[in-house]
Structure 1
Amino acid sequence: MSSVRAARTAAVDVVLCRGCCCGSAAKRPGTDHLGQLSALAEAVEDLPAANLVVTDCLGPCELANVVVVRTRGRLPGERPTAPVWLGNVTDPADTAGLCAWVRRIGLGIERFPHDGPLPPALESLRIPTPGPRRTIRTRRTATATGRPALADSTGGTRQRS
């Protein structure tokens, strides 16, 4: 790889949600979740500055499977880029298109969009960046251990720290 190309190579992270709904055969039956994970791992495997990050729930569960693509660092004079959020990534063709796009970015062949259009196959999967997840404390309840817990905005409870 030439030094010019190396200077343009993006450090890219692919964040794959595998929380409560994403990667779940119960939520998305018929989707090859393991195949998706394998394809994304293979896509970043030999890129000099790319990572596949498997994470817990990212939030927009109704849009499972959720994938976030983000870059780290930037060239002098470039403005920062916002992560690209993709939802309903369940079709093998969508995963293949995502893998190809990540490789083009990671190899410096394609620039990461500054809120611009994505490749047509991925543009239809783009979802808005969700807002911060907040827990609203509503009332104190007791847990089975007798320790106080706080009810959250969804009616569930969590242990108080």
Structure 2
Amino acid sequence: MNAVDGRPCQLTVCRGCCCGTRKKVPGVDHKAQLARLSTIDDHSGRTVPVRTSKCLGICFQSNVVVVQPSQEGRAAGGRPVWLGQVTEDKLVEAIDDWIFEGGPGLAPLPAVLADHVTSKDAKKPKKRKKPKHSKSAKKERRKEREKAERKAAGKAAKQDDEAGPGPDADRKKSGKDAEKKPGKDAKKRKKDKKREKDKKRKKKSGKAGKK
């Protein structure tokens, strides 16, 4: 049996759930993509049958296309190849070229499709969760932080004591002394004036008595 007599490659294209929708995959003309896949011919000139599936189960890989081997390719060991995230025209062209060369089992997978190979059992990668912190752990960290702050404050105070009063303290002290001195001088001057007045009064009173 030659290749012409056998079954050609077939395509299963996911459409309906997430694949083929603008909500899930915006910026792609999904109708045009399906129409382009439906025009693929193999090296014998046979149009490759295309069927659509409502959901192939790996929605996170949309758009999903499954390339099934021809009868000849299957006999040579070819198996269905699942392709995910088929959203660019160059990927559709690569699928066309691959099937024209023979498809799974007969032709090597194009390099551009290598990163898009997936499987029906593919698992959606889980988002890395932030480590949960218990209340007791938070409390311990807070205590350690407060302890470190107190230790740092005590160390700084000790260094200040060992260093002694600085030049600023001396300046403040001399300033206070300077403020006190004018006050004492003023009091002394008042006393001296009072003594002078008393002396003058006594002199006047003495003169008046002699008269």
Normalized against structure 1, the TM-score is what?
0.63
Q: Who is 2:97 aligned against?
A: 100
Matches within 5 A, 1:1-161: 6=4, 11-44=8-41, 47-48=45-46, 50-74=48-72, 78-105=75-102, 112-113=104-105, 118-130=109-121
Q: Which has the higher helix share?
A: 2
2:72 partner SS: coil
Contact 1:63–1:88 (CA<8 Å) still a contact in 2? yes
Amino acid paired to 2:21:
S
- Taking a change above 3 Å as real, the CA distance of residues 22 and 6 of structure 1, as seen in their structure-2 partners, is same
Alpha-carbon separation, structure 2, partners of 1:63 and 1:49: 26
Higher relative contact order (CA 8 A, sep 6+): 1
Question: What is the distance in 1 between the residues matched to 2:23 and 2:98?
Answer: 29
SS at match of 2:97: helix
Return closer, same or farther for 1:68/1:75 CA change in 2, 3 Å cut-off.
Answer: closer
2:167 counterpart residue number: none
Contact kept, 8 Å, 2:11 with 2:66, in 1: the verdict is yes
Larger mean CA deviation between 96-105 and 20-29 belongs to 96-105
**C-alpha contact (below 8 Å) 2:76/2:105 kept by paired residues:** no
Match of 1:152 in 2: none
Matched residues in 1 for 2:88 and 2:21: separation?
14
The CA distance in 2 between the partners of 1:31 and 1:49, in whole Å, is 24
Higher normalized strand content (fraction of residues): 1
- Structure 2: 5+ residue stretches without partners: 123-211
With normalisation by structure 2, the TM-score equals 0.49
| Counterpart residue type for residue 91 of structure 1 | E
Shift in CA distance, 75/113, structure 1 to aligned 2, threshold 3 Å: closer
Structure 1 residues not aligned, in runs of 5+? 106-110, 132-161
Q: Secondary structure at the match of 1:54?
A: strand
In structure 2, distance between residues paired with 1:101 and 1:31: 22
- Asked whether the equivalents of residues 58 and 120 of structure 2 are also in contact (C-alpha less than 8 Å), the reply is no
Greater CA radius of gyration, 1 or 2?
2
Cα gap change, 1:127 to 1:117, in 2 (>3 Å): farther
**Residue type of the alignment partner of 1:102:** I
RMSD value, Cα? 3.0
Structure 1 stretches of 4+ with a deviation exceeding 6 A read none
